[in-house]
DNA sequence: ATAAATTTTTAGATTTGCCTAAATTTTAAT
DNA sequence: ATTAAAATTTAGGCAAATCTAAAAATTTAT
């Protein structure tokens, strides 16, 4: 598989997680930063290789084979992210672009040895699950902080948006994966939240709360 | 720089180490496994980018800029090889192909952090020198085992041929970097050598001896 | 239900890196 | 010094991945 085919496959995979139907041409184009016409071309190629199912004008979906291939790319991406953060001391907002390149290195042996070297992690530095060598994914029950009730406490376990600006905001506020967060109050006007993290109270906007995953405790 | 440009640059670098004159088109074609006409095309492109100096029919040589770029690719290749052997437990005959891919990952930060993680190694698993971040190379005085005199002792410090068949032969004979080798006798008919390694005597052909580097001791 | 807007596909080009075959230049041999 | 051989370059083409612009299909709105 080419570099480009892998990127399309990965885009289709990510889009299909948040869509029941076939994935739209335009959505793929936006994700891979190309044009709809380029997407149509590539989809045809992927369909010929039986990685996706394609019906003109009806969007695409992954075949079983395509799904596994996509998961293996995601697996590589996330394992490399763990490596960069845990071993090379990158911060969580710096790893994405490098991992985008590393994910295309073709060696099963490499990735399985890397997995072992890292101690078979199940989540990447942003809390996203790492598929195992068979494509199995451990699902953690978690919900957006914006969906928490007043008085509830959660442990931060992931981010929805992993843009560096958001991640740097969290660093600045000293919110990290593992932080214990208690919902103190919710402003009904703008849905901003007053929360308590490590004894300190702060106010976060609804946009922030809608991009932070936590699991309920207590 | 593209993947392909990097491979050509690296080929020119390797070839120019064992040639004073400009590097031949055909030699490059053999090294990158393409055709002479493709080489001519690429050379023109590299010349336009001022990475090489090119005069029709006269071969190419690297500019200062091109030399540094080539060294940085070699640096990445060899650092990744160290990583694969030291951290991921690959054997020295398995690392080349994966490193050929990894060497193209574009991140100075990555490679410098990897360098630090590995403890700033100066040689790769085959004894080849690793350029530092400025392109400086530590030269070790070493000579081919075939050039040793009878009675001399050397420490094996590198291989000239790093094909997996040769490396596997060395593994089988329990010759590794660091092995102490004494020349017991030399057969004038075929230049084969009787050597002593770790108390054991064995005979190696001239071809083997011509691909093993050692530094003289005692 | 039909027209308008949107989405998707097709058609035709472009760029990169490669090829084959032919032409040119250089090198080697007599 | 010519000629033959080898090396190199040029010319013309191909496949992959992309694009723009135009055509076709689908969806939305009135």
Task: Say if the Cβ atoms of B107 and A101 lie within 8 Å.
Answer: yes
A31 has a pLDDT exceeding 90: yes
**CA–C1' span, A75 to D26, in Å?**
36
Residue in A95, A105, A108 to test binding to B, most B beta-carbons within 10 Å = A105
pLDDT at B21: 83
pLDDT at A218: 79
Task: Say if the Cβ atoms of A102 and B105 lie within 8 Å.
Answer: yes
Residues of B in contact with A109 (CB under 8 A): 90, 94, 98
Return d(Cα A98, Cα B195) in angstroms, integer. Answer: 48
pLDDT at A160: 96
% of chain A surpassing 90 pLDDT: 97
pLDDT at A153: 97
Which nucleotides on chain C have any atom < 7 A from a protein Cβ?
7-12, 16-22, 25-26
How far, rounded to the nearest angstrom, does the alpha carbon of residue A128 sit from its chain's CA centroid? 5
Which nucleotides on chain D have any atom < 7 A from a protein Cβ?
7-12, 16-22, 25-26
pLDDT at A188: 94
A21 has a pLDDT exceeding 90: no
**CA–C1' span, B198 to C17, in Å?**
51
**CA–C1' span, A98 to D22, in Å?**
39
Please report the domains of chain B, with CATH numbers, ordered by start residue: 3-62 (1.10.10.10), 67-129 (1.10.10.10), 143-217 (2.30.30.90)
Of A84, A94, A106, the CB nearest to B101: A106
pLDDT at B121: 98
Banded model confidence at residue A91, pLDDT cuts 50, 70, 90:
very high
B50-76 core/surface letters (b: 16 or more CB in 10 A; e: else): ebbebeeeebbbbbeebbebbbbbbbb
What lies within 8 Å, CB to CB, of A147 at 6+ separation is none
Q: Compute CA distances B161 → A119, B8, B86, B126, B168, whole Å.
A: 35, 20, 21, 9, 12
**pLDDT tens by residue, A119-166:** 999 999 999 999 999 999 999 999 999 999 999 999 999 999 999 999
Interface of B with A (CB under 8 A): 84, 87-90, 94, 97-98, 101-102, 105-107, 109-110, 113-114, 117
The ranges of chain B with pLDDT < 70 are none
Task: Say if the Cβ atoms of B117 and A90 lie within 8 Å.
Answer: no
Nearest to A13 by CA among A58, A81, A66: A66
pTM of the full predicted structure? Answer: 0.94
Residues of A in contact with B117 (CB under 8 A): 87-88
pLDDT at B18: 86
Task: Say if the Cβ atoms of A105 and B102 lie within 8 Å.
Answer: yes
Residues A167, A175: contact at Cβ < 8 Å? no
Q: Quickly count: other Cβ atoms within 10 Å of residue B88's Cβ.
A: 17
Residues of B in contact with A90 (CB under 8 A): 109, 113
pLDDT at A189: 96
A104 has a pLDDT exceeding 90: yes
């Amino acid at each position: 598989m080419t570099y480009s085919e892998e990127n399309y496959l990965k885009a289709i995979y990510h889009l299909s997680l948040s869509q029941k139907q076939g994935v739209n041409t335009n959505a793929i184009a936006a994700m891979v930063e190309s044009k709809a016409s380029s997407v149509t071309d590539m989809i045809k190629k992927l369909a010929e290789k039986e990685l996706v199912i394609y019906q003109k004008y009806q969007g695409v979906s992954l075949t079983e084979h395509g799904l596994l291939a996509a998961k293996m790319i995601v697996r590589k991406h996330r394992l490399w992210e763990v490596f960069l953060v845990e071993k090379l001391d990158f911060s969580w907002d710096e790893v994405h672009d490098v991992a985008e390149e590393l994910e295309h290195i073709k060696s099963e042996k490499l990735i399985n040895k890397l997995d072992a070297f890292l101690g078979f992690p199940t989540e990447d530095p942003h809390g996203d699950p790492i598929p195992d060598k068979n494509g199995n994914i451990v699902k953690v029950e978690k919900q957006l902080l914006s969906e928490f009730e007043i008085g509830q406490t959660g442990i931060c376990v992931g981010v929805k948006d992993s843009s560096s600006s958001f991640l740097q905001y969290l660093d600045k506020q000293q919110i990290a994966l593992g932080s214990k967060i208690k919902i103190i109050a919710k402003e009904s006007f703008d849905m901003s939240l007053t929360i308590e993290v490590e004894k300190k109270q702060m106010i976060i906007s609804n946009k922030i709360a809608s991009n932070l995953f936590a699991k309920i405790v207590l």
